[in-house]
Structure 1
Amino acid sequence: MRITKIVSALAVIALAGLSSMSSSGAAEKITFVLNWFPTADHSPYYYAREQGWYADAGLEVDIESAKGSAASSQKIGIGQAQLGVADLPTAFIARSKGANLVGVMAVYANSPQGFYWRKSVSGITGPKDFPGHTIGNPPGDAARAMWPAFAQAVGIAEDSVKFINIAPQAKMPSLMSDRIDIISDFYNGHDLKVNAMGDDMGFIAWRDIGVNPYGNTIFVNGEYLKDHKEAVAKFVEVTQKAFNACAMDHKPCIDALLKNVSGLDEKAQMDQWLRVEELMSTEATRTVALGYLDPAGLDDSYALVEKYFTLEKPFDVKDAYTNEFLSKAFKAPAN
């Protein structure tokens, strides 16, 4: 954990006026929908609310959960939630089906996708050894849909593995009981695998072999954005502030998460947050702004989605995101 009590003067100056930005009238009510059950990567939203930062900016933020990015994309797209989190490829698919949503801040500027296996049981030393083995994940899993991109990147045949349908919660039990050889999973849960397998764990991150679409991203409903730019600007800047604070000292943020969400293990969430920091950090988010959506990266992400998923109505990716609300006072942590 990195702990520091020094906040850059630039960040302080940038945020000094947040409370004064609040209107004199009633607070702007915002429903913010998560892409899943709350875990460490969602802790900054709870921390910002606990600290009163959203309220100081004139916002009343209600945080809701959703069962996956398809669900959160739909809620944002039809206006049931003004803002929320969704995996960017999934949100792009939803947009092609008519969901009116616009990306305003990257959370996972790197893809969280990865494959895990047990070296001693499978005999796998790397992705070149995947052929002839089984991969367990849900039928609609993005890793399965984009498998051809991974296979091409590592130089193996697309049909060289067999996919086995399992529920998300069955991934690790199935791997540890030898029912399957490989699982796909997000990197923020990396330490759970380390603890379970130790030196016997095999792992490959998609981003390390050049398949690196954007992951979780904050989206806003397009119609809401038209008439509420000031509220969106306040929400984004406060959220940047919260992610920056959590990067400097993540314990208070995890404490805020645990206060609001039952059933979570503190140590596991502490570990997860450090992995989240890695996913947040790119050259652009470290030098331009925390949460920056790089145009070239967005073009590459759209190209991958267009190639491996069904886009009912293709769209201009430039209309699907904006960086106009990001404060350059906040930068992602260097890892």
Structure 2
Amino acid sequence: MRRVTRTFAVAALATALAVVTGCSSDEPEDTTNAGSGGELAKVTYLTSFGNFGRDAYGWVALEKGFFREAGFDVTIQKGQGTGGNITTIVSGKADYTPIDLTGGLLTFGKGTKDFTAVAAIQQRTMAAIASTSDKKITTPKDLEGKTLADTPGSVVRNLFPTYAKLANVDYNKVKWQDGEAATLIATLGSGKVDGIGQFVVGRPTIEAVTKKTPTFLPYSDYLTDLYGNVLITSTKNAKEKPEEVKRFTQALLKGLEYSLANPEEAGKILQSKDNTANPAAAKAELELMASFVRSAGSGEKIGTIDTQRVARSIAILQGAGQLPQGITPEQIISVDLLPKV
């Protein structure tokens, strides 16, 4: 098996019930990792989707000084999902962001190719359809005749045709409507829709907001080879600043690892950045996410990418008619930027 395994030191930050506004680090200070003249490189980082616990590790890396130690002055802004985040990266309005790898492949297949993945955040996809027990959606077939909401560029929404095909669901009998990252869970709680696109680690936040028992239909039940989020940057950035990309990746993953090891502290850090955040929900999300970041029994280390697994994911999407032929893992993954084991 051809495997690209690269290790990163890692940490993360806690979850939120509301979306956070952009925030930058403190005044620069001298660091041996900084650029010429000891100045910190200014970069903008987007969370993957709003400001939930699954994205807290970016704030942890900022608060604990991991970015500064690596030579960066980082501004963190809320993300709007895979599609929107890719657009922001390609346009040069942001430098780094996590996106769902499968969503990235689908976007790449449609012609947007000026981005590249440099590390895995989750070894398995966390994509799912979320509902509440009163909607009685317990099997994929129950989705027929229902209305679901998600952002237009969400991987859950864009991957749904493939999931529906494998799960024997009539895609044409399911209605989708547009939603916003900040209000999706509240929309579900109001009863205006039957389900929403969501990551499985969102269970604690959904329960806290809706005051109902959450139910999930995980895509991983039918799509076993799919990765979850991966860190991306622009192709231009990867080519022109490879060492900077490596340093940033290491600092972010250090934040991820720290967050998983200290979820309660990460939750409190998140709340310090956004006073509407629920630290208990953030802690619970991080605890649920740990098994996706460290796939049990796989032997893989945090941040690694197996190109053969990616190739199998590509084949699945091609078989479902969602991806054209001729796409290879190396076209969307910067193998040379993944740190050596």
- The alignment's TM-score, normalised by the length of structure 2, stands at 0.76
Tell me if structure 1 keeps the 8 A contact 2:150–2:184: no
In 2: Cα distance, 1:54 partner to 1:123 partner: 45
Residue 318 of structure 1 corresponds to which residue in structure 2?
330
**Closer/same/farther in 2, CA of residues 251 and 258 from structure 1, 3 Å limit:** same
Tell me if structure 2 keeps the 8 A contact 1:32–1:64: yes
Report % sequence identity: 17
Tell me if structure 1 keeps the 8 A contact 2:121–2:231: yes
Q: Secondary structure at the match of 1:146?
A: helix
In 2: Cα distance, 1:213 partner to 1:106 partner: 11
Tell me if structure 1 keeps the 8 A contact 2:148–2:193: yes
Residue 101 of structure 1 corresponds to which residue in structure 2?
115
Residue 85 of structure 1 corresponds to which residue in structure 2?
98
In 2: Cα distance, 1:211 partner to 1:135 partner: 26
The count of corresponding residues between Structure 1 and Structure 2 is 308
**Closer/same/farther in 2, CA of residues 130 and 190 from structure 1, 3 Å limit:** same
**Equivalent in 302, 306, 316 of residue 290 of structure 1:** 302
In 1: Cα distance, 2:271 partner to 2:160 partner: 35
**Equivalent in 129, 141, 154 of residue 115 of structure 1:** 129
Residue 223 of structure 2 corresponds to which residue in structure 1?
210
Amino acid in the other structure paired with 1:287: G
Residue 162 of structure 1 corresponds to which residue in structure 2?
174
Q: Find the structure with the greater CA-based Rg.
A: 1
**CA shift at 1:230, angstroms?**
1.3
Q: Secondary structure at the match of 1:74?
A: helix
In 2: Cα distance, 1:294 partner to 1:103 partner: 12
**CA shift at 1:105, angstroms?**
1.3
Q: CA RMSD in A?
A: 3.3
Residue 22 of structure 2 corresponds to which residue in structure 1?
none
Amino acid in the other structure paired with 2:282: Q
Tell me if structure 2 keeps the 8 A contact 1:47–1:256: yes
Say yes or no: does 1:185 pair with 2:198.
yes
Say yes or no: does 1:44 pair with 2:57.
yes
Alignment of 1:41-80 (within 5 A): 41-80=54-93
**Closer/same/farther in 2, CA of residues 179 and 34 from structure 1, 3 Å limit:** closer
Say yes or no: does 1:260 pair with 2:270.
no
**CA shift at 1:101, angstroms?**
0.9
In 1: Cα distance, 2:163 partner to 2:131 partner: 16
Q: Secondary structure at the match of 1:301?
A: helix
Amino acid in the other structure paired with 1:81: A
**CA shift at 1:22, angstroms?**
4.1
Query: Which moves more between the two structures, 183-192 or 217-226?
Result: 183-192
In 1: Cα distance, 2:271 partner to 2:214 partner: 29
Residue 146 of structure 2 corresponds to which residue in structure 1?
134
Which is bigger in relative contact order (C-alpha 8 A, separation at least 6)? 2
Amino acid in the other structure paired with 1:299: A
Which structure: greater helix fraction? 1
**Closer/same/farther in 2, CA of residues 201 and 249 from structure 1, 3 Å limit:** closer
Residue 332 of structure 1 corresponds to which residue in structure 2?
none
In 1: Cα distance, 2:158 partner to 2:270 partner: 32
Which consecutive residues of structure 2, in runs of 5 or more, have no partner in the other structure? 1-7, 11-30
Tell me if structure 1 keeps the 8 A contact 2:131–2:195: yes
In 2: Cα distance, 1:81 partner to 1:179 partner: 34
Kindly provide the CA deviation profile for residues 68-104 of structure 1, in whole angstroms up to 9, marking residues without a partner as x.
Answer: 3222211212333222222223333444434411101
**Equivalent in 271, 294, 299 of residue 281 of structure 1:** 294
Amino acid in the other structure paired with 2:79: A
Tell me if structure 1 keeps the 8 A contact 2:56–2:266: yes
Kindly provide the CA deviation profile for residues 189-233 of structure 1, in whole angstroms up to 9, marking residues without a partner as x.
Answer: 1123455576x6543211123355323221011111122111111
In 1: Cα distance, 2:238 partner to 2:193 partner: 45
Residue 246 of structure 2 corresponds to which residue in structure 1?
233
In 2: Cα distance, 1:152 partner to 1:269 partner: 33
